[in-house]
Structure 1
Amino acid sequence: MRAFHTRPTTVLTAAATAVLALTLTACGQDGSDTKSAGPAADTSASAPSSAQSAQGSANGKKADTARGAGATKASTGQAAASVPVCTTKNVSISAAYQDGPPYTHIVLTAKNTSGHSCKLNGFPEIQFLESHRENVPPVAKSKPATPVVLTAGAPAYAVVKLSDGGRTENTEPVTAFSVTLQGGGGMAAVKAPGGGIAVDPAKWATGYWTHELRNGADDF
């Protein structure tokens, strides 16, 4: 009986084949070598950045503030519309120097002497001289944002420029002058402070009625 001997080459080939089969099986299980992973989904487009969110919130707050300011202004305007106009019968008007020499400005004070609220429209219509019948022109930047409503006993003010204070100016003396309240409020005669003032028709100007004198807006 002949004995059959397996050739070494056949054994090695079989072993190599088995190892290769195991390797392919392992690769197929985790898929790391047989299929590349696709790109990760981009979520940046669907989720807004923190900067965009903050900007949107800020814009929303600005819009709310603007709406609130507009509503407050409208409410104030509606309330003022129902208040009667101040007249010279229920408001006393006086004048005083604003500063010392050379006395280039005075301040008009209109005090509500009635027992009810009233409103002052616009600016005081002032006539200093018989030779200049036109009203002293107003300064636009001094106009208040809301109507001036005076409660009983409350005052309002208006700054009035008389001249530049120069010695070479063509000024004229004034001991008394007229002030007319706009909106049918009537006219009042006002005494000049200090017994008399000097006015220059080329320089004079008046501010609007305001609840208080304001730095900047009333500087002219």
Structure 2
Amino acid sequence: MNNLRTSRTRLAGAAATAVLAALCLTACNDGTGTHDEGAAATATKSPSSGALSSSSGPNSSSNASDSSDAKPAADSKPAPHTPASKAPASSGKPVSCEGSNTRTVAAPLTRPVNHMLLTVTNTGGASCYLYGYPAVRFGEAQAVPPVVEESQPQAVVTLRPGESGYASVSLSATDGSGSNGHIVKSLTVYFHGPAGNESVGAGAHPSLPAKGVYVDDSLKVTYWQQSMDDAVDW
């Protein structure tokens, strides 16, 4: 009985030893063993490393190119600053406007009828004052016509270089009530000084239409105005 138990025990031990040996042999020959797991891990890491290498290559080149583009060219320099041109400024102390520092134009108006517009432009280098009203002389007249008192502006008209002032002349009565009507073909315009009752400087001689203009005893003028609209209102 004891011999039988001993034999079974030895048989079980031998069987266990054989199974253990078979398992070791299988582990050594199988492709999924420890060595293969290391190789698999290496293979898994390789694509990642390769992707990093391949992506860093073009990106590095692109970044270098971008950095180069971001830098200004060696010969690129900011344009030198050039001051903006300014309109001619008035120089010197303001003077009285008169024939030598202005240009005067006389133009007949259709509205109001029987009227003429005088335009005086400052051609000098300093501002000038148009005092009072134009002292006009048509043809050989010995006296100058009166001024429309209601047309007096609130301030003296000041002309900077290049600017213009205006006055209108009522040549004849629109209803035919004027007397001593006649045609004139020449005009002289004189300018007043600060006192308002004397002429200063040279007179102006604006041209009239070739056929002349018709005037009568109702002839009168406005004060000098800063705007054309104010001048033709009278």
TM over 0.5: yes
Quick one: distance in 2 between partners of 1:146 and 1:198?
Answer: 32
Match of 1:192? 208
Pair 1:122 & 2:138 matched? no
- Write the letter of the residue equivalent to 1:126: V
- Write the letter of the residue equivalent to 1:124: P
Match of 1:213? 228
Match of 2:98? 87
Percent sequence identity is: 33
Structure 1 141/194 Cα, relative in aligned 2: closer, same or farther at 3 Å? farther
Per-residue Cα deviation, 1:32-89 (whole angstroms, up to 9, x for no partner) = xxxxxxxxxxxxxxxxxxxxxxxxxxxxxxxxxxxxxxxxxxxxxxxxxx62111211
Structure 1 139/105 Cα, relative in aligned 2: closer, same or farther at 3 Å? same
Structure 1 141/167 Cα, relative in aligned 2: closer, same or farther at 3 Å? closer
Partner of 2:168, secondary structure, is: strand
TM-score, with length taken from structure 1: 0.56
Match of 1:99? 110
Where does the alignment leave 5 or more consecutive residues of structure 2 unmatched? 1-92, 194-199
Pair 1:149 & 2:164 matched? no
Quick one: distance in 2 between partners of 1:88 and 1:168?
Answer: 34
Partner of 2:144, secondary structure, is: coil
Quick one: distance in 2 between partners of 1:117 and 1:106?
Answer: 25
Quick one: distance in 2 between partners of 1:168 and 1:137?
Answer: 17
Q: Given that residues 139 and 186 in structure 2 are in contact (C-alpha distance below 8 angstroms), is that contact kept between their aligned partners in structure 1?
A: no
- Write the letter of the residue equivalent to 2:104: I
Q: How far off is 1:114 after superposition?
A: 1.3
Quick one: distance in 1 between partners of 2:154 and 2:177?
Answer: 38
Q: Given that residues 98 and 190 in structure 2 are in contact (C-alpha distance below 8 angstroms), is that contact kept between their aligned partners in structure 1?
A: no
Task: Please tell me the root mean square deviation across aligned C-alpha atoms, in Å.
Answer: 2.2
Structure 1 212/165 Cα, relative in aligned 2: closer, same or farther at 3 Å? same
Quick one: distance in 1 between partners of 2:95 and 2:116?
Answer: 27
Quick one: distance in 1 between partners of 2:232 and 2:114?
Answer: 13
Quick one: distance in 1 between partners of 2:120 and 2:216?
Answer: 24
Match of 1:111? 121
Structure 1 185/148 Cα, relative in aligned 2: closer, same or farther at 3 Å? farther
- Write the letter of the residue equivalent to 2:158: V
Quick one: distance in 2 between partners of 1:176 and 1:103?
Answer: 20
Q: Given that residues 95 and 193 in structure 1 are in contact (C-alpha distance below 8 angstroms), is that contact kept between their aligned partners in structure 2?
A: no
Structure 1 171/116 Cα, relative in aligned 2: closer, same or farther at 3 Å? same
Match of 1:174? 184
Q: How far off is 1:143 after superposition?
A: 1.0
Match of 2:147? 138
Where does the alignment leave 5 or more consecutive residues of structure 1 unmatched? 1-81
Q: How far off is 1:186 after superposition?
A: 2.3
Match of 2:7? none
Q: How far off is 1:166 after superposition?
A: 4.6
Partner of 1:193, secondary structure, is: coil
